[in-house]
Structure 1
């Protein structure tokens, strides 16, 4: 029969109440999403417009919120056994669950016959040499009555396991980088990888491989209709029939990290942009679910229509008809989430614990277990939220700075990530000026001087002569004066020969001239303990663990000081030279472009307003023009601007667009400056650019991916007569050590170790360069995966030589390495 299709939103509301319509159009299965999807397609066909369908979806979901019949999930049990982050979950049945972990193991958990609420670890699968991520279950056959398990790992391998005995029965080799996803396609296994490919395996052999995206492929699933879906760091999804791409789906604004089938409708995607999307096979977005406050790593759906998602924000969220109906808080990142057939939910957390959640009253954990978990969450939140005595969750966000202040100097504390940041109202400029982070401290600190947003006991004016401007030297009484001097000299790009003179200046002006200092202080670059004047030295009779002075390194170092006036002056001089050169005249900048360079520098100078300043795309294009077109000898001022640009949040976000594509700006820059190594200024500024990239996590994947290419390109810097270049190179190695330890990249760690050993063995190496290389070596040995390799490289002799050094910090880090060797 012909149906009276709606012509307005009011008729859609009427249609919502006429559920009898569903019988007329003979839909046997009813859910809000299914009906909305049907209506969306019919209206599109009839009116050539999606508008009415979208209206209906919004209206219907709004009604659904009022009528939701939903029982809250509660903790059922905790599965403890993994030693590190739990990264993946595979549901074999309601009675058997498999989990993967950063601890390199897979555990199979079986229902406890003595307590149906709980699971016990029945098997541990060992074999992967790096952290294990995606899992897939192959149902039982005559040969494998308990089925098989497929796993993918950072070690680039796909393993197939026999679940009867836990043995690895197939090792699938072919990927060049981390395996991010595994799924089953009839008798085949399909895997995705950071190497940008999808691979099809049959009977243990590679039968197909194709480049699926131009960026890492983060996930792959098979749909009931037979197609494959892949999600990528390029923010797109692709639908595949075999190796043939049927369509590319766009909508997310960041990496697509997780995928799942949505029964009877289509499929779901989870993204780093914080959203979950429901897609039809046609490529239409049926729903966008927004509620997480950080990266969404995983998503899953149940036949009831419920959706679950896991996020970096420590929550697993449950969604019904596009609305978040419950958030399950965790004491860490939620890496994965899966539904059991019963509707129970399994979550994988970075605290190493697997948790099962249920709405079934008969299997809910007892009250003591629930109270213990609630207490754990409370303690975690308390440890995270106490900043300067303020509760972070009660602070307003950055958007509150859009409202003007009422008086000059009025202060406001807002939340930025996990920090409370103070701003002061500037009545003259009608803007909020950033003061700095709010930190816990003793009473009476409000009157302490502030420099660069931080409070200190003293901020000294230092006149270094020669017409140079007065420099500001910050110092706290609890600081080691040698640390303070080292940091300041590095920041101001002054020779370390001034060190003792600066220390004496600090002691004289801080009233600490007669204080005896413990020579065993820690270097400022290690992030280790600070010396406290007058503190008694105590030695434990039986220390619980070795005490290291300089390792492991925490955090990264940057070169964040620039002589902007000199940079602009030099760039202007070079541009004038190009204008007068008949051959290169077309490469010079126009007056407008030169003025824009000045505007870029003005923004970079104003560090207190990095939160509210932005660059234009044309600014990046302008710098690209200089780096690509100007002669090598004239590049370094522009490269120095890029060095500072990557420390600006918006500047970095624009620059990365020119890195994560086929025309990689940074790789081109590296190639250009290393082709002529006779230009140390180019090498120095480029290495410093790379060092500063570590400050922004958006570049971490790029840095890790290209570590071999980068380290090979600058491998000769360790023996350069230019001490600044030596220091920049050793800082690059130290930052790489920190990153690759965090990423558990053993191959990369080995290359950094080899390069750092070269610096440490170089007799002519500058003291600070050698120190940083030794810290990198010690950190890699202590927390990385390359201690055995270091011992094989005879690191003991390097430690012995360092211990004999007259430089205190070199001797101390040498002792640290020696202690690691003996453990």
Structure 2
């Protein structure tokens, strides 16, 4: 972090290829430095930093509580906003530096001990620090960052082609196009979803040709974190989860990995609301069967076996189920074992650190909830293989935590 002559604080990272420091972004503000809790997305935080990543674009929000592990919060921030993992140490160090001296319930301006203790403050890359435990994961993750302009432009373009080709039976009429425009504005400004918008997106992903559904599914996964998504009920009583799964696995068309990835992100994002978590729990059998299909456990070969986006969506969904099990003590013994097998199967031979990290956190959180569920499974074998294949210290660290919990 560098304080510029104009008073701005900029974040930089070293580029080995260019042999120079690259400006990552400008830290605009640190709401919360007064010591008062700050509301963001319905939750209270000690800090909400504004970070400019790209000129001309609104700053990104970086919320943080002093009780959190800076490394975990930095990881969530990067993946929520689809930023490169190479920024991880930068963001985590920024959090550590800009909350230094603050203690729980006090402002950053008040003198006080390190909230983790002088010898146990977590610093990225120092995996041996005591008190740096990751497991169990207690917060649900989402994959919500979106480029709305590109998504909605694509939908309007496809619709225009449908109208010109005579497909007016499924094309959007002017009134529906107006609703779609209102939906884009609502998503961009975090306003309430307009009436009829969810039903309109369901129409796109169910009635449009399979090859044209992807942008509609992208919008659907963005809507999944809203309570109204979990409250949806179709003409035959189908839920939004039923819709997302069925439209991505066609019986007559070749399977599209990106479609499956968007449907899996929809499942992951349902955990963003209490209603969504209730839906995921009540429809756990169908959701777990879907994840088994992705992992190649049933129904055919694995989908996107080495497709990073598919795998991260799968692991995030499994991780959210693990958090649900840990926090709410839900799902049956059989369902929990199946989740463990899904993660263990999908992580085999993987080398991507983010995929492995999320997989291990999911496993470890399940073990923390009920280690007996893993009896007879080769959990330690899976974890040791992941530790050997991962090339980041955080993977090795959480792997060791898993091994300490595995039966």
TM-score by length of 2: 0.71
CA deviations over 1:295-314 (Å, ceiling 9, x no partner): xxxxxxxxxxxxxxxxxxxx
* Aligned equivalents of 1:682, 1:756: Cα separation in 2: 21
5+ residue gaps in structure 1?
1-440, 516-530, 539-546
Contact in 1 for aligned 2:295/2:345 (Cα 8 Å): no
Contact in 2 for aligned 1:799/1:817 (Cα 8 Å): yes
Q: CA RMSD in A?
A: 3.5
Indicate the SS of the match to 2:347. helix
Matched residue, 2:107: none
Q: Which of 270, 284, 294 in structure 2 is aligned with 1:714?
A: 294
Question: What aligned pairs does 1:440-589 form with structure 2 within 5 A after superposition?
Answer: 444-446=34-36, 452=41, 454-457=44-47, 459-464=49-54, 468-474=57-63, 480-503=69-92, 510=98, 532=115, 535-537=118-120, 549-582=133-166, 584-589=167-172
Q: CA deviation at 1:636?
A: 1.9
* Aligned equivalents of 1:534, 1:806: Cα separation in 2: 29
Q: CA deviation at 1:642?
A: 2.0
CA deviations over 1:452-478 (Å, ceiling 9, x no partner): 56554462432335x654434445677
Q: CA deviation at 1:599?
A: 1.8
Q: Is 2:350 aligned against 1:763?
A: yes
Q: Which of 547, 565, 590 in structure 1 is aligned with 2:173?
A: 590
Distance 1:452 1:727, change over 3 A: same
Indicate the SS of the match to 1:489. helix
Contact in 2 for aligned 1:555/1:738 (Cα 8 Å): yes
Contact in 2 for aligned 1:718/1:759 (Cα 8 Å): no
Distance 1:807 1:677, change over 3 A: farther
Distance 1:570 1:815, change over 3 A: same
Contact in 2 for aligned 1:600/1:615 (Cα 8 Å): yes
Distance 1:698 1:777, change over 3 A: closer
Indicate the SS of the match to 1:562. coil
Q: Which of 723, 730, 745 in structure 1 is aligned with 2:332?
A: 745
Judging by fraction of residues, say which structure has more strand.
1
- Larger relative contact order (Cα-Cα within 8 Å, sequence gap ≥ 6): 2
Matched residue, 1:672: 247
Matched residue, 2:367: 781
Indicate the SS of the match to 1:461. strand
CA deviations over 1:469-492 (Å, ceiling 9, x no partner): 443444567765433432221121
Matched residue, 1:649: 227
Indicate the SS of the match to 1:786. helix
Judging by fraction of residues, say which structure has more helix.
2
Q: CA deviation at 1:682?
A: 1.2
Distance 1:458 1:645, change over 3 A: closer
Contact in 1 for aligned 2:281/2:330 (Cα 8 Å): no
Indicate the SS of the match to 1:728. helix
Contact in 2 for aligned 1:802/1:813 (Cα 8 Å): no
Q: CA deviation at 1:624?
A: 2.5
Q: Which of 265, 276, 286 in structure 2 is aligned with 1:688?
A: 265
5+ residue gaps in structure 2?
1-31, 102-113, 122-130, 297-301
* Aligned equivalents of 2:138, 2:342: Cα separation in 1: 20
Is the deviation greater in 474-483 or in 622-631? 474-483
TM-score by length of 1: 0.37
Contact in 2 for aligned 1:691/1:728 (Cα 8 Å): yes
* Aligned equivalents of 2:288, 2:53: Cα separation in 1: 44
The structure having more radius of gyration, on CA atoms, is 1
Contact in 2 for aligned 1:480/1:532 (Cα 8 Å): no
